[in-house]
Amino acid sequence: MFMLAKLLCHVGGFQATFVNTEHNHALLQRTLAGNDLPAGFRFLSLPDAVPHDREKQQSSISYVCELFRSIRDTKPEFRRLVAELSPTCIIADGIMSLGFDVAVELGIPVIAFCTFSAVCAWVYFHLRDLIEQRVVPIPADADMDEPITSNPGLEGILRRRDLPSICRHGIPPPILNFFLRETESMRRASGLILNTFDGLEGPMIFRLSTIFPQIFAVGPLHGLLSNIVKEEPLTASNGGLKEEDRSCMTWLDSQPSRSVIFISFGSLVALTEAQFVEFWHGLVDSRKPFLWVVRSDSVLGEDEVPSSVKVLSGLRGEAHDGSRCCVVDWAPQIEVLAHEAVGGFLTHSGWNSTLESVLAGVPMVCWPRLSDQQVNSRAVSDVWRIGLDMKDKWDRSTVEKTVRELMEGRRDEIIKLTIEMAGMARSSVEEGGSSYHNLEKLIVYIRSMCYDI
């Protein structure tokens, strides 16, 4: 969303007001220190209702839902802010019904910005159908590899295990209902913006156009921003909320080409101590040098209290000879993936990470955990065939085998397809490319609203 706002200022000449929570606003200001913003860009923030210093459960989907519910409680303040600004339109996060509510109440055009893939958007928009068809929630004794055949558009693409995590057995009904309500709220928008590109998800983008009369696939956004604003570095500083440890770049400089497996499970996913230990041993046993992002809250011990430091200190000696591994709290991920030493990415399959890997031409090992990640993993491994899926397993033998298969056994086959996909991604964000053209269309569409008011 932050990169999109910058693009609209740079290319469209619009004035953009970026509204965030006070907590995220403070983090963003810290990571953006010294970075210039385009003319017409400004920040405003809304008060937080959920404490962010909690030690437990910040990686859970229930916490994320609680956070979004708390943002809904700021509706009176947001409504007042929007009424004072009197904007031409609102571009609202797809699971931020607050934005759609206020836009409708004040008679302001609203466009939805979808932060997940087109395939996942299609699943969410048909979640009610899947519930009525008794596909969701997935029964405890279900065959997880059974294909989804009851929904037009998903035939031959997804199995039960590939549906978003909220569809699984044991997920509390309020969480499923939350996502159902939020995604259905998006249908009130006059248009949909997707961070994807035609070469990656063309057929599904076309299907979504049956729901939204105006649809704009403008991804990968980080590549589009870098291409259009030439002085804009291709880095995560375009919206990242964590400070990066750049020492890992020096370590990568000392590694052979395409030899390193990069591991990052994003900003939310946490592992149990047992899972972390198994991943560590699997990586060590693979005999591949690895760079692992281990946040202070990446590992949860008893009572779900973070225990990363304790667990890591007991394992470092096994591979820490200065060349076998590098561990950092947070890395400049886009730069890491672009480094010639990186040959594979062990990822949670978050959509941003997936797109960053696609554009960089780095094949993936997928271990999805939350929300849309299962959908993305399936696309990477079986639709685009630019990676491998660990299929919910995390024992050291599976980790070792899958990393070796990616970096050795099927390396040539997967790299060939990965490089082809990276070429399509780069072409899409160049002048005349599909995403470049769709950004121009979006700008024309927003300008047309100025004359309609």
Res. 253: pLDDT tops 70: yes
b/e burial code for range 283-314 (CB count within 10 A of at least 16 → b): bbbbebbbbbbbbebbbbeeebebbbeebbee
Q: How far is CA 412 from each of CA 109, 367, 405, 409, rounded to the nearest angstrom?
A: 49, 22, 11, 8
Q: Tell me, what's the pLDDT at 35?
A: 65
Q: What is the DSSP letter of 147?
A: B
Average pLDDT of span 54-77: 67
Q: For 153-177, what is each residue's pLDDT tens digit?
A: 888 789 999 999 999 998 888 888 8
**Confidence at residue 34, expressed as pLDDT on a 0 to 100 scale:** 53
Tokens coding 281: 């041993």
Helix%, strand%, coil% for the chain, nearest 5: 50, 15, 40
- Between CA 351 and CA 336 the distance in angstroms is 17
What's residue 301's pLDDT? 74
- The pLDDT of 63-80, averaged and rounded, is 79
pLDDT of residue 22 exceeding 90, the answer is no
Does residue 198 have a pLDDT over 60? Answer: yes
Residue 279 has pLDDT above 70, yes or no: yes
pLDDT score at 172: 87
pLDDT of 366 above 50: yes
Rounded to 5 degrees, φ, ψ at 99 are -65, -40
The strand pair at 290-293 and 110-114 is best described as unpaired
How is residue 203 annotated by DSSP? H
Residues of the chain within CATH 3.40.50.2000 domain(s) are: 2-238+426-452, 247-425
- How far, in whole angstroms, is CA 347 from its chain's centroid? 11
At the fourth CATH level, the homologous superfamily of domain 247-425 is Glycogen Phosphorylase B; (3.40.50.2000)
How does residue 268 score in pLDDT terms, banded at 50, 70 and 90? confident
Above pLDDT 70, what percent of the chain?
87
Whether the bond into 172 is cis, omega within 30 of 0:
no
Q: What is the mean pLDDT of residues 129-147?
A: 93
Mean pLDDT, range 135-162, rounded to an integer: 90
Mean pLDDT of the residues in the chain: 88
pLDDT, position 409: 85
Pick the CATH number of 2-238+426-452 from 3.30.360.10, 3.40.50.2000, 3.40.190.170, 3.40.228.10: 3.40.50.2000
Q: Which residue has the higher pLDDT, 97 or 452?
A: 97
Q: How confident is the model at residue 453 (pLDDT cuts 50, 70, 90)?
A: very low
pLDDT given at position 65: 67
Query: What is the DSSP track for 405-444?
Result: IIIIITHHHHHHHHHHHHHHHHHHHSTTSHHHHHHHHHHH
CB neighbours of residue 56 within 10 Å: 14
| Contact call for residues 341 and 202 (beta carbons, < 8 A) | no
The one-letter code for the residue type at 377 is: S
Q: Which helix (H) or strand (E) holds 290?
A: strand 290-293
The answer on pLDDT for 376 being more than 50 is yes
pTM for the predicted model, two decimal places: 0.91
Residue range 263-286: mean pLDDT, rounded: 93
First to last CA, the chain: 25
Instruction: Supply the pLDDT for residue 304.
Output: 65
Structure confidence at residue 56 as a pLDDT band (50, 70, 90): very low
What pLDDT sits at residue 18?
93
Find tokens 């991804």 and name the residue. 219
Mean pLDDT over 102-118 rounds to 96
Sheet holding 214-217, edge to edge: 90-93, 110-114, 191-194, 214-217
- pLDDT at 408 exceeding the cut of 70: yes
pLDDT for position 310? 65
Q: Is the dihedral of CA 279, 280, 283, 289 positive or negative?
A: positive
- The pLDDT tens digits for 218-241 are 999 999 999 998 755 555 444 555
